A and B are shown apart, each in its own frame.
Chain A
Amino acid sequence: MNSTQRRGVGIQVRGLRKSYDGQLVLRDISFEVAPGEVFVIMGPSGSGKSVLLKHLIGLEKPDAGEILIGNEPISSPGLMDRHRIAMVFQSSALLNSLTVGENVGLYLAEHRLKPPAEIEKIVAEKLELVGLAGAQNKLPSELSGGMKKRAALARALVVEPELLLYDEPTSELDPLMAVTVAEEILKLNRRMSVTSVVVTHDRDLAFGIADRIALIHDGTIYSIGKPDEVRNTTHPLFQRFLAADFNLKQSSDKP
């Protein structure tokens, strides 16, 4: 299949519940993501966003509920072969013993999808795309946090995914690079109709790229809708969350 013909895949989450040591982290989460949609899950820290994301790629097993990727349960054997799914981790999760180039080309090399020369070419292309041209031979320990994140994005792009999950893609990035990453998410979405699920507490990113936004707090989704609908939420916590701003000088100047 040509990469330009690749289509995104839909997701259905029904009644998802998860607890750790008796503490409920996800409470009856249900939502759907249409193929090719950019779906943002936004909420304060510790609200269960990353745990939810890990369920969507099968890294965690729910206590109850089901997740369907392209109408197939996520636990179906060979699902990852049929629907390419990739994830950009918050910590980047590059393999520290490999060079950046080896990290980016790992998927192709391990699955023997391309000959080594072609892998090198693809790796160079993807690194250039994320602004890391020529960084193939560097070790992850030689990169800054933002560079690591971009290398992780390049590694995910190599998979040519139908579903791409991002865990806090703009954390540790300067504003310019954050905009670049946001543009890249949208570009991928438009070019290949990749379904993107983005977990973030970065309001600018969420409202800048989302087709729909889900607001999550304490393991519960309170609202799902288009950015404008979500902006008008009546939930007091999210009103504060969306309106929060630095007013430290003014408040400290008060007698």
Chain B
Amino acid sequence: MFENIGQILILIWRTFQALPLVVRHKKKVFDQLFEIGNASLLMACVLSLFIGGVLALQTGVTLAERGLSSFIGQIVGLSMCKELGPVMMAVFISGRIGSAMAAEIGSMAVYQEIDALKTLNINPVHYLVLPRLVAISIALPILVVFSNLVGWFGGAVVSVYNYKVAISYAAYFNSLRSGVDFVDVANGLIKSLVFAVIIGAVSCHQGLRTVGGPRGIGRSVTKAVVNSIVLILILDYFLTRLLMHLDR
């Protein structure tokens, strides 16, 4: 496990070192961005709509019973942008995109395509990992922005139309505006950027070390998704602590 983490950190470091070369690989970055956006945006919005809705439902009814309906917007707003938006989108993207990265690179490793790149003196980190890591690091924070907006809207719809909560749109969004500021949104975006690097590095690392044919590819995909999610949830705690400390 520690060997794996070490290898992942080395892969991240090598990719950062190669960042100046990203201009040469811009077409591949755009292709990956399109792949991630095209594959994930709609599903991310649907997911976020219901996350915001269920958050409003769970908290709204209890708050309304205690006459605290005016706090619903604030609670949904903060929960979405600081926690649920970044974490849920990271989990979703690790399943949707991380698995695809591990499978694609894993199949290239198994069928000697990566060896062929090396014999052509083409660095697989520059050719395969750099564009994917850059693209996911751009795409995930953007998805989180969409997730926040749609999640807030989902919370608003439930708060207005659920008869046990039944507050107005104005009351909901006033509460949200008073409780959520730019720093809160930025906190979530910083988290999502870290999660994106983790998903990209873990998935590419698993893909690159794939051996053993189709079964090996399957194993790599499973490991990429599971390891990404575990690391995201563990890192989320420490990032939250760090950001709370910086926020003071």
Contacts and interface: CB of A to CB of B under 8 A. Distances in A.
Contact of B122 (A54, A91, A110): A110
B10 interface: no
B120 A86 contact: yes
Contacts of B115: 54, 59, 89, 93
Secondary structure dominating the interface of A: loop
B108 interface: yes
Contacts of A106: 120, 122
Interface residues of B, number: 16
A95 B113 contact: yes
Contacts of B127: 110
B245 to A, nearest CB: 43
A107 interface: yes
Nearest to A86: B119
A21 to B, nearest CB: 12
Contacts of A89: 112, 115-116
Nearest to A85: B119
Contacts of A58: 118
Interface in A88-137: 89, 91, 93-97, 106-107, 110-112
B111 interface: yes
Secondary structure dominating the interface of B: helix
Contacts of A81: 121
A81 B120 CA distance: 10
A155 B122 CA distance: 13
A85 B119 CA distance: 7
Contact of A159 (B112, B113, B120): B120
Interface in A43-75: 54, 57-59
A96 B119 contact: no
A199 interface: no
Contacts of B24: 112
Contacts of A86: 119-120
A106 B122 CA distance: 9
Interface in A131-165: 152, 155, 159
A96 B116 CA distance: 12
Contact of A87 (B104, B108, B111, B119): B119
A57 B119 contact: yes
A91 B111 contact: yes
A93 B120 contact: no
A129 to B, nearest CB: 18
Contacts of A80: 121
A85 B118 CA distance: 11
A57 B127 CA distance: 19
18 contacts: A54-B115, A59-B119, A80-B121, A86-B120, A89-B112, A89-B116, A91-B112, A94-B113, A94-B116, A95-B108, A95-B117, A96-B107, A96-B111, A96-B113, A110-B120, A110-B122, A155-B120, A159-B120
Interface of B: 24, 104, 107-108, 111-113, 115-122, 127
Given A86-B120, A91-B111, A96-B113, 6 more contacts: A54-B115, A59-B115, A80-B121, A93-B111, A95-B108, A96-B111
**Closest 4 interchain pairs by CB?**
A93-B116, A93-B112, A80-B121, A87-B119
